[in-house]
Amino acid sequence: MELWVVWLILAGIMVVVEMLTLTFYLLWLGIGAVFAAVIDLFFPGALVLEVVIGCVVVLILTVFTKPITRRFHASHDYKDVMDELVGKQGIVLEAVAADAPGIVKVGNETWSATSGVPLVKGESIIVVSRGNAVLLVEKWGG
C-alpha cells in the first residue's frame, strides 16, 4: 500500500474521531496527515519531510486557532460528554478507597472515580463533578 494512502486513512480516522469529541486537536492532526499525503504524492519516500510538514501544519493550526476553539468551548451551548455525567447515577465496580481511585459504571461506560468516603463494590453512586479523566462520586441513597 502506498504511503499517501496510509496518510489519508489516518486523516479520515482523525476526522471521524474528532466528530465524536469536538476538541479540534484531532482535526488539526487530520489536516496535517492530509498535507503529509500530498507531500508523499510529489516526493515519494521522503518520510522525514512528510512528518515535518505535517507537524508544522498541526502546530500552526493549533497556535492560530486557539482563540477560536477557546471561544467555542466557552459558549453556553457547548457541553462536554463528561459534563453530562454530573448528576447521573451509577454503580461501583471496583472499591473506591480514600487514597486510591476505583472503577464505577455510569450508563454504559466505566470510569475511574474518587470519593470522600470509601465505597464498596455494588454500592449505588451519583456523579458530583469531574476531573480530566476521573469522576468525583458520592454514595447515593435514593
Does residue 30 sit in the same domain as residue 55? Answer: yes
The torsion region of residue 122 among left (phi > 0), alpha (psi -120 to 50) and beta comes to: left
Are residues 87 and 70 part of one domain?
Answer: no
Element (H, E) at 11: helix 3-21
90-120 pLDDT, tens digit each: 999 999 987 789 999 998 888 899 988 899 9
The pLDDT, as a whole number, for residue 102 is 92
Amino acid at residue number 23: T
Query: Going along the chain, which residue ranges are E strands?
Result: 89-94, 102-106, 109-114, 124-130, 134-139
Assess whether 88 and 127 both reside in one domain: yes
Any idea what the CATH number is for the domain that residue 133 is in? 2.40.50.140
Domain residue limits at 57: 3-74
Mark whether 23 and 66 lie in a shared domain.
Answer: yes
Q: What is the mean pLDDT of residues 4-8?
A: 94
In the chain, the number of structural domains is 2
Per-residue pLDDT, 83: 63
Provide the pLDDT for residue 103: 93
Over residues 30-73, the pLDDT tens digits come to 999 999 999 999 999 899 999 999 999 999 998 888 777 777 66
Please answer whether residues 105 and 125 qualify as being in contact, where contact means their C-beta atoms are separated by less than 8 angstroms: no
Report d(CA 57, CA 44) in Å as an integer.
Answer: 19
